[in-house]
Structures are given as C-alpha cells and as structure tokens.
Amino acid sequence: MSARTTRANGRASRRQILDAAAEIASECGYQGTSISAVSKRSGLPNSSIYWHFANKEDLFTAIINDSYEQWCDELAASRNSANGDGHNFEHLYAKLGQFPDFIRLGLIMTLERPPEGGDAARQRFLEIRRESLENLRTALLSDYPDLGEPQANALAAMTLSQLDGSFVAAMAGETALTPRVLSDAVHTLATSMSAGHAAHVE
C-alpha cells in the first residue's frame, strides 16, 4: 500500500545521463551538445533521455542544478576538513580552479543568446550567480566591518567578475593568476576601501 518506490535502475540511469551530459555540455555548450552524443557517452538510448527529461532545455537546467549542488557539497566538505575558521577567499579561488562543470557551462550560456523558446537553464545559472554575489557581499562585510554598504556591493561585484575572468584566463591557458595573488588583491582592495578611503565609490 506504500507509495510505489521509484525503481532503483531509473535513478541510476538518470545519474549516468546527468554525468555524461555535464561533461559534454561544459565542453561544448548548449548548441554544441547533441542528444545522441549524450546517449552514446552515457550508454543509454535516446529514448531514455527523453523519458527522464522533457527536452534538451530541461536536461540543461538539471545539469546546472545538479552540478552546482555537487560543487557546493564538495566546497562545504573541504572547508570543514581544513581550517574551519571564517571566510577564506584563497580557498574559494583554489576550489574554483578545479573547473566545476556548471561554471564553464553557465558562462557559455551567459554569453550566448538564449535559444528561442525557453531559457530556463540560463536563468537558473543567473539566479545562482545572484546568490553567490549576495554570499560574497555578506562575507566581505563580515571580514571587513569598516566597509560601507556601497563599497561592499562594488567589491563583491568586482570579486565575482574577477572569479569569472580568472576562469576564462585559465581556459585561455594563462597561468599568472594563482589563488594567492587573487585573494591578496581582494584583501588590498577591501582594506583600501574601508574607512577613510571612501573615494572609490561615490
């Protein structure tokens, strides 16, 4: 009489599809990822993909959500295992250096015009971005209490875009930006913008 439990095989297949699709999508973007390629890499037929996901757009939304969730879990785990003290930007930069799938895919989708007839996946990524921006803002205000509201907003935006930019730089094969250099820069700007240096943002 209990609610029918979902078939174990079904969940496993969904996972296989998501893993395969995330790999391909983060390399090839939305337009460059074909359903048949996902089918081939996941080992499951075309029809299984369309049984688990309504269409390509729905699959991509799921990829972003799933990959983001995985990355958040990893971040939390590694933060707990290491020094559990306060916010550590160097740690964040280092973790991003592992190129989580959802960021590469999300950046491509941010830059590309959304496919006509639905842009749920892109919107979901932008939502994650806004959440991250807010997290950065509060983290900065907590680490640098002398920072004013407008300065914190500007610095959070700059930090996020610096993260995006260093991701691009890594993809371009440039190597000058280490996590250390980047986190030091945030510190320099934060202290400079605190207190008497308000001229940075009017």
Query: Please, are residues 22 and 99 in contact by the beta-carbon 8 Å criterion?
Result: no
Both tokens of 191, joined, read: 């202290």
Asked if residues 163 and 106 have their Cβ atoms less than 8 Å apart, the reply is no
Q: Binding residue for DNA (CB under 7 A) from 23, 48, 114, 187?
A: 48
**Backbone φ and ψ of 54, nearest 5°:** -65, -40
- According to CB under 7 A, which residues from 183 to 202 bind DNA? none
By CB under 7 A, the residues from 54 to 113 that bind DNA are 55-57
Q: Is 108 a binder of its own copies (CB under 8 A)?
A: yes
The reply on whether position 111 binds its own copies by CB under 8 A is yes
Closest to DNA by CB, 5 or 175: 5
> Which residues 158-187 are close enough to bind its own copies by CB under 8 A?
158, 160-166, 168-169, 171-174, 176-177, 181-182, 184-185
Q: CA-CA distance, 127 to 48, in Å (whole number)?
A: 29
Which does residue 201 touch among its own copies, DNA, none (CB within 5 to 8 A, set by kind)?
its own copies
The distance of Cα 3 from the centroid of its chain, to the nearest Å, equals 35
Q: CA-CA-CA-CA torsion for 40, 72, 81, 179, nearest 10 degrees? A: 90
46 binds, among its own copies, DNA, none (CB under 5 to 8 A by kind): DNA
Task: Map residues 125-144 to x or -, x wherever contact with its own copies holds by CB under 8 A.
Answer: -x--x---x-----------
Nearest approach in angstroms of CB 60 to its own copies is 14
Binding partner of residue 160 among DNA, its own copies, none, CB cut-off 5 to 8 Å per kind:
its own copies
- Supply the angle between the helices 149-171 and 120-143 in degrees, to the nearest 10: 120
Ramachandran quadrant class, 29 (left: phi over 0; alpha: psi -120 to 50; beta: rest): left
Only one of the segments 52-60, 87-95, 122-130, 160-168 lies at the binding site for DNA (rule: CB under 7 A); that segment is: 52-60
Classify the phi-psi angles of 176: left when phi > 0, otherwise alpha if psi is within -120 to 50, otherwise beta.
alpha
Tokens in use for 42? 């996941």
Out of 29, 50, 71, 97, the residue judged to bind DNA by CB under 7 A: 50
Residue 120, C-beta contacts closer than 8 angstroms, at least 6 positions apart: 57, 58, 60, 61
Among 21, 24, 52, 108, binds DNA (CB under 7 A): 52
Q: Which is nearer to its own copies, 51 or 94 (CB)?
A: 94
